[in-house]
Structure 1
Amino acid sequence: MSTTNEGRVYFALDGDDFDPDEITRFLGIEPTSVKRKGSKIPGRVPRMSSWQLSTQNIVDDYIDVFEMATEIVDKLRTKKELILQAKERFNVSARLEVVLWFSMKEDNSTPAIGFEIETVEFLGSIGAFVDIDTYKH
């Protein structure tokens, strides 16, 4: 059993049929990772392609989703119009993903999960949805 919490936040552009490298060129931002539909990833085959920009994976007693989400949005804020154009041009959807692993130790706090007003406004302005995945360590 892990004694600490763990988490990361990432922004993704997901779609059925696009080349993530084209989104990289279009946005002018190097992604943290990409997935290509049908490619062989150990243990599974992605059902869709995805372009992702992620925070570091944080392993700590205290995980602050507010801070991590703000970090990602700050990197994307100046690319708002390009993101909107990319959604149309490449037929992709925008997603902010929160991935958290909770420590099962009684004396550890649970992660602070929430979003600053500016983050919510930005995500709304680009038509992004938020997905939060939680797991037990």
Structure 2
Amino acid sequence: MGIADHSIVAFRIFGDDLVPTEITDLLGSEPTVAYSKGDERIGRKTGNRYIEKTGRWSLSAEDKHPEDIPAQITELLSKLTQDLAVWDQLRSKYAMDFFCGVFMGSSNDGLEFSPEVLGQLSARGITLSLDIYDHSDD
């Protein structure tokens, strides 16, 4: 089993009543992307205008070549509060996940997550979401 070619990872929080500045204050880190429900956003590639259907706060890690999702998760968690009471508060109000894009380099690449990394996500109530992209897709 080989290691995937590369990975992208972002910690994301979603909610209709999400106020980005409040999340920033609670987590102690500036987001990569943030908006409130109803905000207008202009697509970077298309220039199309969108009205956001829900609020979002997200923080992205540096892309890794080859894939190293555990390091990316650890990188992001190190930038955020360690106070589990804050995480309980967030979990009770919002949907949270680590979005992980995995770009395979062959037809048989694998992923591995240590109990420590999974324990950190579990303690904070964060879902791990994996999107896996086939190496043969263009």
Per the TM alignment, residue 15 of structure 1 is displaced from its structure 2 partner at its CA by: 0.8
Q: What whole-Å deviation, never above 9, does each CA across 1:35-69 have from its counterpart, x for those lacking one?
A: 333322315544321111221133x3x21122222
Q: Quick one: distance in 2 between partners of 1:28 and 1:80? A: 13
Change (3 A) 1:77 1:6: same
Note the residue ranges of structure 1 that are not aligned, 5 or more in a row. none
Q: Secondary structure at the match of 1:9?
A: strand
Q: Name the counterpart of 1:98.
A: 100
TM-score between the two structures when normalised by the length of structure 2: 0.72
| Superposition CA RMSD, Å | 2.7
Q: Name the counterpart of 2:28.
A: 28
Per the TM alignment, residue 77 of structure 1 is displaced from its structure 2 partner at its CA by: 5.8
Q: What whole-Å deviation, never above 9, does each CA across 1:57-113 have from its counterpart, x for those lacking one?
A: 33x3x211222222223333613321222334xx2122111023345xx5x984x52
Checking the alignment, whether the CA contact within 8 Å between 1:87 and 1:93 is kept in structure 2 is yes
Note the residue ranges of structure 2 that are not aligned, 5 or more in a row. none
Q: Secondary structure at the match of 2:116?
A: helix
TM-score between the two structures when normalised by the length of structure 1: 0.72
Q: Quick one: distance in 2 between partners of 1:12 and 1:26? A: 14
Q: Quick one: distance in 1 between partners of 2:52 and 2:61? A: 21
